[in-house]
Amino acid sequence: MDKPHLDAIEYIRGISMLGVIGIHIGSQYLANPTPNIHLVALFEIVTRFSVPIFFFISAFGLFYHLDPGVPFSYRNFLRRRLRAVLIPYLVWSAFYILHYTLLFRDPMLLNLRAILKYLFFGFASYQLYFLVILLWFYLFMPVWIWMVRRMTRRGLFFLLLFQIAFDYWSSFLLQPYAIANPYIQVLLVNRLNYWVVHYIFIFVLGGWLGLRFEAFRRFMIRRRPWIVLFFVASLAGLTGYYYWLLYVDHYPPVGAINMAHQLCPAGILYTLGASLFFFTEFTLQRYPHWLNALFSLLGRHSYFAYLVHPVIITYISLFITRAQLVMTAPLALLFYGAVAAFSVAAAIIVRRIGKRCPIVNELTIGSSSKG
């Protein structure tokens, strides 16, 4: 059964892609020994919802289109999902391994053992771990269907508490380097790259709301002011934690953002607040035609832009270094704008090439019809 297209899913993809670029530009900006801490907050704290919200809308889209009257075919599901994610993941991993091998002349990247490690953890490029986690979510889809169909509001509340406790343990208490076994140690050290349990609450919540969209729509209409208030409060909580670390605990900016991230308690609540807020606003708000067109453009091309933007960051960063420019706040903002613009432009160009040669889109974004 076909259901109405939801612009909110596409729009959130677009702003999330822009947020991820912001996080990675923030890492470049921190090369400045005296960065503007407020700009760091914009790049690294305000954008912290960007990766988790991808899992929210991925689950929402999957369960929104799930027909309860049709038996779930795990085999067909995996075939479609692996085509959309696994093939682009392998193609982009190969691209980045070859690219960095040639650029930095590091033959170690062509070592078979290193390649297998890169593929398992998503090490070929720093944004690819998202696809690794998404693949693990897909592999366990029958589990999520079982959970979502039986989940209650009380169950979601306890799942949220579990998420906060688990992520706190994983982020701040677990000591993987204390493990003597080198194989277990490497699995634990790199747990953020493949442990789906770090994002199980936001994924299950997305699926639960997608399966109950009409009830969710009524909730958004009735509770819109409270959703906005919760979003503002959660953003204030995470940014307040960041500034507390800077001014009270005297953390350097790098240390502060490594504490005030999406897996800390304030970060989890901010992800929840941002997910509800953006879905509500993009569902209920009526925007001018040009703004809808812009959000739609960003959403359609978000997948390719997300996958390609590290290449653009690399070469603009090399230009800045060779030109001996200091990474000031204005330059960082220009850097961000250039990376976002070039990433989307590259996505549009390759998409048009893919219309003439569908295999290009099949390999890079997993579909000949995907934006």
Number of other residues whose CB lies within 10 A of the CB of residue 303: 21
Rounded average pLDDT over 230-247: 98
Rounded average pLDDT over 293-314: 97
**How far is it, in rounded angstroms, from Cα 223 to Cα 266?**
22
pLDDT at residue 3, rounded to an integer: 82
Q: Name the pTM for this structure.
A: 0.94
267 alpha-carbon distance from chain centroid: 14
Q: At 29, which amino acid appears?
A: Y
pLDDT of residue 213 exceeding 50:
yes
The helix (H) or strand (E) run that includes residue 144 is helix 141-150
Rounded average pLDDT over 62-89: 91
Rounded average pLDDT over 346-367: 94
pLDDT at residue 157, rounded to an integer: 98
Residue 369 banded pLDDT, cuts 50, 70, 90: low
Closest CA to 38 of 215, 229, 256, 219: 256
Q: Yes or no: say if 28 and 313 are a contact pair by the CB < 8 Å rule.
A: yes
Residue 223 banded pLDDT, cuts 50, 70, 90: very high
Residues 6+ apart with CB under 8 A from 272: 160, 202, 205, 230, 234
pLDDT of residue 261 exceeding 80:
yes
3-state secondary structure of 5: coil
Rounded average pLDDT over 253-260: 96
Residue 225 banded pLDDT, cuts 50, 70, 90: very high
Closest CA to 103 of 95, 113, 114, 112: 95
pLDDT of residue 371 exceeding 50:
no
What is the Cβ-side half-sphere exposure of residue 210, based on CA atoms within 13 angstroms? 29
pLDDT in tens, 126-180: 999 999 999 999 999 999 999 999 999 999 999 999 999 999 999 999 999 999 9
Rounded average pLDDT over 79-101: 94
Residues 6+ apart with CB under 8 A from 81: 138, 141
From residue 53, give the alpha-carbon distance in Å to each of 64, 219, 276, 325: 16, 19, 10, 35
Rounded average pLDDT over 212-227: 97
Rounded average pLDDT over 185-189: 94
Q: Say which residue, 367 or 219, is predicted with more confidence.
A: 219
Burial class (CB in 10 A: 0-12, 13-18, 19+), 310: buried
Q: At 290, which amino acid appears?
A: W
Q: Yes or no: say if 269 and 234 are a contact pair by the CB < 8 Å rule.
A: yes
pLDDT of residue 274 exceeding 90:
yes
**How far is it, in rounded angstroms, from Cα 271 to Cα 282?**
16
3-state secondary structure of 123: coil
**Mean pLDDT, the chain, whole residue set:** 94
Residues 6+ apart with CB under 8 A from 321: none
pLDDT in tens, 318-354: 999 999 999 999 999 999 999 999 999 999 999 999 9
pLDDT of residue 107 exceeding 80:
no
pLDDT at residue 370, rounded to an integer: 44
Number of other residues whose CB lies within 10 A of the CB of residue 283: 18
3-state secondary structure of 370: coil
pLDDT at residue 1, rounded to an integer: 57
Q: For the stretch 53-84, what's the b/e string if a residue is b when 16 or more beta carbons lie within 10 angstroms of its beta carbon?
A: bbbbbbbbbbbbebeeeeeeeeeebeeebeeb
